[in-house]
Amino acid sequence: MNTAQLLALLASFIFGVVFAFYSAWPRNVPLAPPAEPTEPQISWPALLDPDARLSIVMQLGAKPTPERIAILTRAREQERDPRILAVVEQALAPVIGEPG
């Protein structure tokens, strides 16, 4: 074995030891905890057939809650069928006598 091969073998061993210690060294812990994941944005099921979407709108409009109103509002933004839009508008219209 000549001197160049011996030096290459020694350098390889030294770099391997340094890499092993560097890999085993503990990492710094982040100072701030990770952010909580946000809720996914509501999406209107535009790929369903019109009868299924109409059924969903009628079920959501039967008992308006804040969550259902958010879904109906998204439906108003994304829906393209005029008869379903009419039902959505009717479901979102304030009822006379209800506090709003």
Distance of alpha carbon 14 from alpha carbon 59, whole angstroms: 71
pLDDT in the model for residue 9 = 92
In this predicted model, what pLDDT tens digit does every residue of 29-87 receive, in sequence order?
767 777 777 766 777 787 788 899 899 888 988 887 888 888 888 888 888 889 999 99
pLDDT in the model for residue 96 = 54
pLDDT in the model for residue 97 = 53
**Over residues 19-27, mean pLDDT:** 85
Q: How confident is the model at residue 98 (pLDDT cuts 50, 70, 90)?
A: low
Supply angle C-alpha 64, 68, 74, rounded to 5. Answer: 130
First-to-last CA distance in the chain? 91
